[in-house]
Amino acid sequence: MLRYVIRRLLLIIPTMFFVALITFSLAHLAPGNPFDKNPNRPMPQETIDRISRFYGVDQPIPVQFITYLGNILHGDLGISFTRRTPVVDVIGQGIGTTFQLGIGALAFALAFSIPLGIVSALKQNTMIDYLSMLVATIGTTIPGFVLAIFLIYIFGVNLHLLPFVGWGSWQHMVMPMFVLGLGAGGFLTRITRASMLEAIRQDYVRTARSKGLQERAVIVGHALKNALIPIATIIGPATAGLITGSFIIESLFNVPGMGRLYVISILARDYPIIMGTTLLYAFLIMIANLTVDIVYGVLDPRIKVA
Amino acid sequence: MATAVTAQEKRTAELNVLARKQRSLWGDAMYRLFRNRAALVGLVVIAVAALVAIFAPVLAPYGPLEQHGKDGLMEPIWTKFFGSKYTDPAYLLGSDELGRDILSRLMYSSRVSLIIGFVPVSIVLAIGLTVGMLAGYVGGVLDDFLMRVTDVVYAFPDLLFVIIIVATLRGTGLGDAYDGLLVIFVGIAVVNWVGVARLVRGQVLSVKNREFVEAARAVGAGPGRIMRKHIFPNILAPVIVTVAFAIPGAMLTESVLSFLGIGIRPPTPTWGVMINEGFIVFSTSPWPVLLPSLCISIVLLAFTFVGDGLRDALDPRSKM
Amino acid sequence: MAQQLLEVTDLHTQFFTRDGVVRAVDGVSFEVAAGETLGIVGESGCGKSVTALSLMRLIPVPPGKIVKGTIMFDGADVLKMDDDEVRGIRGNNIAMIFQDPMTSLNPVLTISRQISEALELHLKMDKSEARKRTIELLDLVGIPSAKKRADDYPHQFSGGMRQRVMIAMALSCNPKLILADEPTTALDVTIQAQILDLLKNLAREFRTAFILITHDLGVVAGMTQRIHVMYGGKIVEKADTGELFANPKMPYTWGLLRSIPRLDERRKAKLVPIEGLPPDLIAPPPGCRFEPRCQYRRDICREKEPELVHIPNSKPDHEARCWGTQQGGWLVDTDWHKEVGDTRIIEEIKQEVAQLPPEPKPGDVPPPPAI
């Protein structure tokens, strides 16, 4: 098990290398640089040279890339073009908020999706099933920002119940967490329902019934225990999805997190931040995938990760 | 218990048996699809949207870019019953801050959405099928290459990957071609083809050693023929389902990009662009934002219903 | 006649599908005495498994439903019990061994957990008692080093070993009746014999009544006291095991016997398959259900369904459902070993089958999506 984890952790390195290479290349393919903000008033050449030296962009591109990689190993992601502060600090300011939002959304998603999925499977093709599948479909299909627009219109603009700009109080958190959680929750509801339907059709459930167990014991002790395996494995990517997918919601509700920062940096072409954030996101996703495989090995006795 | 039965009754019973046994599997799938009410509603909505898109120049009361400066921010006519003073029967759904007719803009927007839905997905399908079938059937270097590429692409959050591509290419010739449409095609294709290729590869691997392929090989069918005639029809069902969900996925990507201001260039109308443009005045006049939001929701839901219906129809065992 | 443990009368179990009502079990009556072993034999799809599941009310509802009949077990009608009473019987008084030991055990629970569960439930044992008993049971069914293996998961056992676990599970609460549904079908031939031996010895030792359900007459031959042959949802012949093999009275049984290899036969006796397809249980043949495949058929077979009645020239409790072998029928004196019936009818049946629409080609089968 330990060896497997170590091998998987080592595999992250080449993948991260390619992620860095791709983002770096794209950033250098892109037109413009931090100094041509105002074409009518060009900077004096010595200023450009000075700034170029400061950012290291006077070096050949391969050298820049290697320097960049070397710096990453020291936890240095470069300096933001627009803020003139280290990227690590800028990201550090937003990451807490983003995690707060993501974890809150995940808690909300889990709280409604798993019971809903189970009930839906047990009452297949009834009104309850259709209703919860409709909720799940709306959650997965309608984009978060569109959902947020409707919510802002109803609860913010019309009813004045909830603030829709900023972050801090619990009232600020309600709508962003709800919108973000509904998408992930809709997906989890469908997974739960599907794996529960799969489980209750299995022969071993019939065996459990033939022992005379209460229906509750059959469902919880036998069917759910099997159905939880695919559900648990999806929670990892779902968390990664919530954290990396929060950028639109953060921008919309003006939440000072990593996602909003990312969008601002994209609009401002602040490549050091774009690259740093992308690498961080990619790292989170790979860790999430690795966690899935480990959780899978723990939950399912048939899987022997060696 | 023993009952006399006429010859005719027996004949009817026999006919019933024949009728049941003859239904082909694809026919069965179509039957299940059309019996699915949600999928049927979805198909109708998509058909209507397609007609509106095709006949937008005929149907729309105004041009999409036509400005009526003094008639800015009209509200939809039904708000008149709720006391709105700013309605005008000339603008059924009202107008935006530049006095452009919202109904006309919504109609023209459906064109972009449908193009975004179908063009990049066709590219994705063509590349994904080819690479996936070759990787699965031939294997070797191509297969290794595909798996490595997938690892890297899967490490990116997919929407963010499209955003990086589109955002960095802005300002280049590619980025500005066709109001930014081309670069969105490229972004969606680059990010999504690996998913299809990997799916196809897995399916091919599971099919290629089945008996009927062995049988075809035994009678001397070449690899090309085996792939086209024997493997392809058997991997089609999951590919169809994936494509059915890729279409709304592509539309969603465009609307997010345009909403963030890095997608289609204004003033070309798309639902995402309309939301982006109207958002500044959202708290005072919400209609220019609400109406395109509603359009996106309805069309995406329609595609999802059809996708769900297709999946249930093609694989009745899967209930996801 | 001894006091009956189980008395099934006119059982009808149906499945309501899109294509129509499947009459899986269509008026089945039989009884089992305490300690007796009964074989139910028939092709797949003849309703034998559904009969077994009906006895424990394990038919999935919907689409299935027991529409008619009584199942008297130990003096009480299982079909009139409420859910709690039925659960009190399941695993406790009636236990079941299923066909496929690979899928019938829960993959995420240990073997000991799965056996102790019933012990704790029905015999009110505490955890350590149940565990002790579980290990005894595993020992009894021949699991080597049972103590060590009790905490293993099903996937760590071979097919034969898993079926032994299933048997241990079925025996755990000393049931009065065990239903074994094709207990050896999924196993290798060499293992089959071991498992059958085990079942036979345990049945004797525990004095448990057994219903052994199989498609293979060879399996029941040495195991059971009586055999019921089922076809198309009905019992078509009932007899003592010896009597059934020596003096079968129904062309379907003849067909079954002709299609099993026997070592005690003359060398030239060759295996003869039963031509044609099993009946469609949504629209069954109006007369005798076997008529479309029977090479001895006459017009009456198509027009009227025969009753299950005593047959002349046989033991008193031998019954069959056939116009030909009944009193005054044209098959009363037929020796099934010698007279294979009208060969022209055999050709006709072959042709009818050939005219049926072809089975879908494998190339048309959409495989399940990997999503």
Tracing tokens 């036509």 back to the chain, one arrives at B66
C332 to chain B, closest Cα gap in Å: 21
Q: What is the pLDDT of residue A35?
A: 58
Q: Which of B5, B211, B241 sits opposite C369 (nearest CB)?
A: B241
Higher pLDDT, C206 or A30: C206
Query: Distance from B308 to chain C by nearest Cα, in Å?
Result: 12
For chain A, list the contacting chains (3+ Cβ pairs, <8 Å).
B, C
Instruction: Show the tokens assigned to A14.
Output: 């080449």
pLDDT at B23: 55
* CA distances (Å), origin A211, targets A93, B90, C13, C139: 57, 73, 22, 20
Task: Name chain C contacts of A230, Cβ cutoff 8 Å.
Answer: none
Complete edge-to-edge strand list for the sheet that includes strand C209-214: C94-97, C177-181, C209-214, C37-41, C226-231, C234-240, C319-320, C309-310
Where is average pLDDT lowest: A88-92, B139-143, C222-226, C274-278?
Answer: C274-278
Percent of chain B with pLDDT over 90: 21
CB–CB contact B262 A152 (8 Å): no
Q: Are residues A57 and A144 in the same domain?
A: no
Q: Which of B34-48, B141-155, C323-337 has the lowest mean pLDDT?
A: C323-337
Contact B261, A263 (CB under 8 A): no
Are both A283 and A141 inside the same structural domain? yes
Is residue B295 scored above 80 in pLDDT?
yes
- Minimal C-alpha gap between C364 and chain B (Å): 7
Q: Which residue has the higher pLDDT, A186 or B30?
A: A186
Q: Does A142 touch chain B (CB under 8 A)?
A: yes
| Shortest Cα distance, chain A CAs vs residue B27, angstroms | 23
- Mean pLDDT value of segment A199-216: 88
* Average pLDDT of span A262-290: 86
Is the separation of the CB atoms in B112 and B178 below 8 Å? no
Mean pLDDT computed over every residue of chain A: 84
Asked if A138 has any chain B CB less than 8 Å from its own CB, the reply is yes
Better-predicted residue by pLDDT, B109 or A168: B109
Q: Which residue has the higher pLDDT, C356 or B300?
A: B300
Q: How far apart are CA B105 and CA B56, in angstroms?
A: 9
- Examine residue A57 and state whether it is found in any structural domain, yes or no: yes
Please tell me whether residues A111 and A215 are part of one structural domain.
yes
| Residue C126, number of CB atoms within 10 A of its CB | 10
pLDDT band at A118 (very low <50, low <70, confident <90, very high): very high
To test the contact with chain C by mutation, choose from A122, A195, A211, A226 the residue with the greatest count of C C-beta atoms within 10 A, namely A211
B119-132 pLDDT, tens digit each: 999 999 999 998 88
How much is the ipTM here? 0.81
Q: Examine the fold and report which residue of A46, A73, A100 is the final residue of a domain before the chain moves on.
A: A73
Structural class in CATH, domain B37-63+74-313: mainly alpha
pLDDT score recorded for residue B6: 46
Say yes or no to pLDDT of B41 above 90.
yes
Could you report the per-residue pLDDT of A65-81, keeping only the tens digit for each? Answer: 888 888 888 888 888 87
Q: What angle do CA C272, C277, C278 make, to 5 degrees?
A: 105
pLDDT for B120 equals 92
Q: What is the mean pLDDT of residues C340-364?
A: 61
Q: B160 vs A15: CB contact, 8 Å cut-off?
A: no
Give how far C331 is from chain A: nearest CA, Å: 43
A188 and A42 within one domain: no
Please indicate whether, in this complex, the C-beta atoms of C104 and A300 are within 8 angstroms of each other: no
Collapsing DSSP states into helix, strand and coil, what is residue C37? strand
Beta-carbon contacts of residue B120 (< 8 Å; ≥ 6 apart)? B184, B185, B188, B189, B192, B250
Looking at the structure, tell me whether residues A226 and A192 fall in a common domain: yes
C191 pLDDT above the threshold of 50? yes
pLDDT in tens, B96-109: 888 888 899 999 99
Contact between B172 and A30 using a beta-carbon 8 Å cutoff: yes
For the stretch C128-164, pLDDT in tens is: 888 888 998 888 888 888 888 888 888 888 888 888 8
* pLDDT score recorded for residue C339: 67
Cα C209 to the chain's mean position, in Å? 14
How many angstroms separate the CA of residue A208 from the nearest CA in chain C?
A: 8
Of B1, B9, B207, the CB nearest to C307: B1
Mean pLDDT, residues A160-164 taken together: 79
Residue from C53, C87, C97 to probe the interface with A (highest A Cβ count within 10 Å): C87
Q: How far apart are CA A110 and CA A182, in angstroms?
A: 10
Q: Which residues contact C196 (CB under 8 A, 6 or more apart)?
A: C183, C184, C219, C222, C223
- Asked if the C-beta of B152 comes within 8 angstroms of chain A's C-beta atoms, the answer is yes
Which residues in chain A are contacts of B165 at CB distance < 8 A? 26
Q: Are residues A97 and A201 in the same domain?
A: yes
Domain ranges, ordered by start, for chain B = 37-63+74-313
- Domain termination residue (choose one: A73, A103, A120): A73
- The domain in which residue A59 lies consists of 2-73
Rounded-to-integer distance, Cα C275 and Cα C255, Å:
9
**Interface touch C369/B314, C-beta < 8 Å:** yes
- Residues in chain C with CB shorter than 8 Å from the CB of A213 are 87, 91, 117-118, 121
CA distance B257 to chain C (A): 27
Q: Is B20–C368 a contact, with Cβ atoms under 8 angstroms apart?
A: no
Query: Does residue B46 carry a pLDDT above 90?
Result: yes
Q: How much is the pLDDT for B18?
A: 43
Chain B residue numbers with beta carbons less than 8 Å from the beta carbon of C27 are 1
Task: Evaluate if residue A107 carries a pLDDT over 90.
Answer: yes
Could you tell me the CA-to-CA distances from B272 to B104, B113, B253, C109 in Å, in that order? 15, 9, 10, 51
Taking domain C1-261+277-371, whether its CATH number is 3.40.50.300 is answered by yes
For residues A44 and A106, membership in a common domain is answered with no
Record: contact A207-C105, CB cut-off 8 A:
yes
Complete edge-to-edge strand list for the sheet that includes strand C76-77: C20-33, C4-17, C64-73, C76-77
Confidence of residue A120 (pLDDT cuts 50, 70, 90): very high
Chain A residue whose CA is closest to B297: A142
What's the pLDDT tens digit per position in B158-207? Answer: 788 888 888 888 777 777 778 888 889 988 998 888 889 888 988 888 88
**Which of C89, C98, C155 is closest, CB to CB, to A207?**
C98
* pLDDT band at residue B229 under the 50/70/90 scheme: confident
Shared-domain flag, residues A121 and A261: yes
Whether residues A185 and A288 share a domain: the answer is yes
B10 and chain C: CB distance < 8 Å anywhere? yes
**From the CA of A110, how many Å to the nearest CA of chain C?**
22
- Give domain status of residue A62, yes or no: yes
- Tally of domains within chain A: 2
Of A204, A214, A215, the CB nearest to C105: A204
- The predicted structure's pLDDT at residue A42: 65
Facing residue for C108 by CB, picked from A210, A213, A300: A300
Length of chain A: 306
Mean per-residue pLDDT, C190-200: 83
Across C7-18, average pLDDT = 86
pLDDT of residue B320: 47
Q: What is the pLDDT of residue C365?
A: 38
Shortest distance, CA B195 to any CA of chain C (angstroms): 12
Q: Within this chain, do residues A115 and A254 fall inside the same structural domain, yes or no?
A: yes
Q: Which residue has the higher pLDDT, A303 or A93?
A: A93
CATH of the domain at A116: 1.10.3720.10
Which of B155, B160, B256 lies at the smallest CB-CB distance from A15?
B155
- Tell whether A304 is covered by a domain: no
Last residue of a domain, one of A73, A105, A130: A73
Contacts of residue C58 in chain A, CB cutoff 8 Å?
Answer: 206, 209-210
C100 → closest Cβ in A203, A226, A300: A203
pLDDT tier at A110 (50, 70, 90 boundaries)? very high
Q: What is the pLDDT of residue B166?
A: 86
Segment of B196-200, C273-277, C347-351 carrying the highest mean pLDDT? B196-200
- Say if the Cβ atoms of B4 and C303 lie within 8 Å: yes
CB-based contacts of B19, cutoff 8 Å, min separation 6 = none
pLDDT given at position B261:
86
What's the mean per-residue pLDDT of chain C?
A: 81
The alpha carbon torsion through A246, A248, A250, A251 (nearest 10 deg) reads 160
Torsion of CA C151, C153, C156, C160, to 10 degrees: 100
DSSP string across C188-238: -HHHHHHHHHHHHHHHHHHT-EEEEEES-HHHHHTT-SEEEEEETTEEEEE
Q: How far apart are the first and last CA of chain A?
A: 5
Q: What is the pTM of this model?
A: 0.79
Q: In this predicted structure, what is the pLDDT of residue A111?
A: 93
Residue numbers in A near C101 (CB within 8 A):
none
Pairing of strands C94-97, C177-181: parallel
Q: What is the pLDDT of residue B282?
A: 83
Task: Give yes or no for residue A34 having a pLDDT over 90.
Answer: no
Kindly tell me if the per-residue pLDDT of A32 is higher than 70.
no
pLDDT at B14 over 60: no
